[in-house]
Homo-oligomer: A and B are copies of this chain.
Amino acid sequence: MKIGIVGLGLIGGTIAKALNTKHNISAYDISNESLSYALKNQIIHKAYTNLHLFLQENEVIYLCLYPNSLINFIFENKVFIPKNSVIIEISGIKQHIISSVEQLGELEFEMVYSHPVAGREKSGVWFSDKDIFSKGNYVITPTKNNNETTLKLAEKLAKEMGFNNISYVSPKEHDDIIAYTSQLTHVLSISLVNALSTNLDTSRFIGDSYRDLTRISMINDTLWSELFLYNRDALLEQINHFRVQLDHIQHALLMNDKENLMNLMQSSTQIRQSIEEGKTHDR
């Protein structure tokens, strides 16, 4: 298949690396540096500088852009995308993207909205790595405009990329869940690191726990501020759920309530173990 990638960053580059043995991969990017690196390292087969030609010559196009650029790209180029093209976007939020694209009116091509639940604390094609996808989760949020065959194609390509589980959920469910599993997680990591007091020399005290919890505080601020703001209500709701739990621990500490503390710890142990074992939590 002829597959094109718009936005040759960490994820775009990783998609290219994961698919380039089975398919003919080309890319379009505003950065010549990324394109020439990818060509030189045989990550892609062809680099386009002419966007219209790129859009004409590919059957499937992955849009690997930040939310704002993504919507802008479709707005500016919708008339140049051929009728039978499949456009797959891979951003971390869904409702905002889908409603924005729907406001552009009827489209002749077919949009697939999906989310490879994977990433790294680095950006750029230089850090692309097939391992990022390996055994991961790929979520597709179908809309009424999707054909079954197109969804099956997106699913097949995700499997070829190395994803283990491909799931279908509604855009709202996606955004609600991702607000908890991903966005809240990043909020906590950022806040933990920013809470470091200047008067503490922690350097000799850093253990694996702190290292693991703060790894994702090294964050792409352009991308993540968009993700946070376009999923604001769901994220704020999750922050409130978290605060309730933090209040429980704080209260137990204030009251010297050992039993309650132990209960909270037993609860988290049990829930986390169910997740580890792949069970659905039983609360």
Contacts and interface: CB of A to CB of B under 8 A. Distances in A.
A199 to B, nearest CB: 9
A241 B281 contact: no
Nearest to A226: B258
A215 interface: yes
A194 B264 contact: yes
Contacts of A242: 191-192, 195
Given A217-B269, A219-B265, A268-B218, A206 B275 contact: yes
Q: Top 4 closest A-B pairs, CB basis?
A: A221-B265, A191-B245, A217-B268, A167-B204
B229 A261 contact: yes
Given A167-B204, A187-B246, A194-B245, A216 B209 contact: yes
Query: What secondary structure prevails in chain A residues at the interface with B?
Result: helix
Determine the interface band of chain A, counting residues with CB < 8 A from chain B. Answer: 35 or more
Q: Which of A178, A225, A238 has the most CB of B within 10 A?
A: A225
User: How many chain copies does the complex carry?
Assistant: 2
Given A184-B192, A253-B232, A139 B264 contact: no
Given A266-B221, A268-B218, A117 B207 contact: yes
Interface in A242-283: 242-246, 248-250, 253-254, 256, 258, 261-262, 264-269, 271-273, 275-276, 278, 280-281, 283
Contacts of A119: 207-209
Interface string A150-173: 000000000000000101010001
Interface in A111-158: 117-119, 136-137, 139
10 contacts: A177-B200, A181-B205, A184-B195, A185-B192, A185-B210, A219-B265, A224-B265, A229-B258, A236-B250, A239-B249
